[in-house]
Amino acid sequence: MTQQRFKAFYFDGRSSKPQEVTLVLLDDCVWIQEINVTYPLKTIEVGAKLKDTPQSVSFTDGSYCTLLASDFFSPPNDGINRFAFKLESKTRYSVFAILFIALLTAFSLTFGSTLAANAIANALPQSAIDAISQSALSILDNNYLSPSKLSEEKQEAIKRSFAQINDDKCCALRFRQSNTLGANAFALPNGDIILLDDLVYLEEDEQMRGILAILAHEKAHIKLKHGLKNIIKVSISSAIVGYLIGDFSGLAAGGATAIIDAGYSREYEEEADAYAIEKMRELGVSTRYAADIFEKLRLKTGDDYSLLDSHPLMDERIKRFREN
Ligand SMILES: [Zn+2]
């Protein structure tokens, strides 16, 4: 039987008066010699050993011991504490640990959050997707959106047109107006597509064929979970940054801004355009009407044509829709 002995102060958990004791570490238990009581190792809680601070050992009955600062109490089942103490007590290891954390943080903020976002987006239950979307919409409604001023007839005409590409009924159209977001449309992960009045005002085609192609583009963002992945990615980044700077206010707003501001990657935009063009081809509808709307949007907003999906690739998009 091996044993290690430690001088310690014992507190019974009821009075603040310490008692000098000897803590004896045996193979599977600790024995407090002076009061003759033993505790199985698996029931005790050993405090972290930081360089010059005394360690504590707590017991299930509320009593605990404080060791001398020079001692290191490490039972065989306390691997993490041993490892941490070893790292902490060697400068070389500390530098390595800081570098490791810096690299891990950088990875988490870039590739790591993308990988995690893809995995989480595919695993999330519908109830969670609904909750995320409702919360994002209420933030948008409270800050940027107001009720649509489009006539009932106009809204009905757009809904009828939209029904052609919504035969699986996975999406629902919602009309809003926004001074801040102007001519825009965006999709929420639960299937809601928010269409803003100013975008409809740019449509000259009676049959709403340009708007239809744009709605098909938004539907693609929902089907391919682009918005959901963006929200998760922004939330992971905000959580990491929040943890590092101690401010989590960015986390709550992240969901809403990921849909309208942060924007989709070029890859997501091209995927959504390809889906919209394919859908229009199936319906025998030319995509030039959508190209017309994009042209007007570009004229209207000048260089700042980041409003629709926030993409900087308007020229390429107009060309794509014009040619199909
Ligand atoms: Zn888009």
119 domain residue, yes or no: no
113 domain residue, yes or no: no
Residues 25 and 174 in one domain: no
Write a three-state SS string for 82-130.
HHHHHHHHCHHHHHHHHHHHHHHHHHHHHHHHHHHHHHHHHHCCHHHHH
Q: What is the mean pLDDT of the chain?
A: 83
pLDDT-derived band at 47 (thresholds 50, 70, 90) equals confident
User: What is the pLDDT, as a whole number, of residue 156?
Assistant: 94
pLDDT-derived band at 89 (thresholds 50, 70, 90) equals low
**What's the gap in Å between 273 CA and the centre of ligand 1?**
7
Residues 11 and 131 in one domain: no
**Amino acid type, 178:** S
Domain limit, last residue, from 51, 84, 117: 84
At 51, which CATH number? 2.30.29.30
Residues 45 and 149 in one domain: no
93 domain residue, yes or no: no
User: What is the pLDDT, as a whole number, of residue 305?
Assistant: 46
pLDDT-derived band at 312 (thresholds 50, 70, 90) equals low
Residues 206 and 281 in one domain: yes
Domain limit, last residue, from 84, 116, 143: 84
pLDDT higher than threshold 50 for residue 310: no
pLDDT higher than threshold 80 for residue 239: no
Residues 77 and 154 in one domain: no
**What's the gap in Å between 302 CA and the centre of ligand 1?**
19
102 domain residue, yes or no: no
Q: Is 290 in contact with 276 (CB distance < 8 Å)?
A: yes
Residues 244 and 295 in one domain: yes
More confident residue, 106 or 278: 278
pLDDT-derived band at 267 (thresholds 50, 70, 90) equals confident
More confident residue, 5 or 260: 5
**What's the gap in Å between 163 CA and the centre of ligand 1?**
20
**What's the gap in Å between 120 CA and the centre of ligand 1?**
21
Closest CA to 203 of 289, 299, 302, 321: 289
Residues 155 and 16 in one domain: no
302 domain residue, yes or no: yes
Q: How would DSSP label each residue in 36-62?
A: TEEEEGGG-EEPP--TTSPPEEE-TTS
**Cα Rg of the chain (Å, integer):** 31
Residues 172 and 69 in one domain: no
106 domain residue, yes or no: no
How many structural domains compose the chain? 2
CA distances from 288 to 132, 135, 193, 269, 281 (A): 35, 36, 22, 18, 12
Select, from the ranges 15-24, 100-109, 253-262, the one with the highest average predicted confidence (pLDDT): 15-24
Residues 208 and 312 in one domain: yes
More confident residue, 110 or 138: 138
What would the pLDDT profile of 163-199 be if each residue is shown by its tens digit?
A: 999 999 899 999 999 998 889 999 999 999 999 999 9
**What's the gap in Å between 123 CA and the centre of ligand 1?**
23
User: What is the pLDDT, as a whole number, of residue 227?
Assistant: 86
pLDDT (mean) for 1-19: 85
Residues 206 and 285 in one domain: yes
Sequence-distant (≥ 6) Cβ neighbours of residue 158 within 8 angstroms: 150, 173, 175, 195, 200, 208, 211
Sequence-distant (≥ 6) Cβ neighbours of residue 12 within 8 angstroms: 19, 63
pLDDT higher than threshold 70 for residue 303: no
Residues 141 and 51 in one domain: no
279 domain residue, yes or no: yes
Residues near ion ligand 1 (CB < 5 Å) are 272, 309
pLDDT-derived band at 80 (thresholds 50, 70, 90) equals low
pLDDT (mean) for 152-162: 95
Give me the domain span that covers residue 29.
Answer: 4-84
**What's the gap in Å between 219 CA and the centre of ligand 1?**
9
- Checking DSSP bridges between strand 172-177 and strand 192-196, what pairing results, if any? parallel
Residues 182 and 318 in one domain: yes
More confident residue, 254 or 20: 20
Please enumerate, as own/partner, the contacts of 26-31 that have beta carbons within 8 Å and a separation of 24 or more. 26/1, 26/2, 27/1, 27/2, 27/76, 30/57, 30/75
**Amino acid type, 66:** T
User: What is the pLDDT, as a whole number, of residue 210?
Assistant: 95
Domain limit, last residue, from 59, 84, 109: 84
187 domain residue, yes or no: yes
pLDDT-derived band at 22 (thresholds 50, 70, 90) equals very high
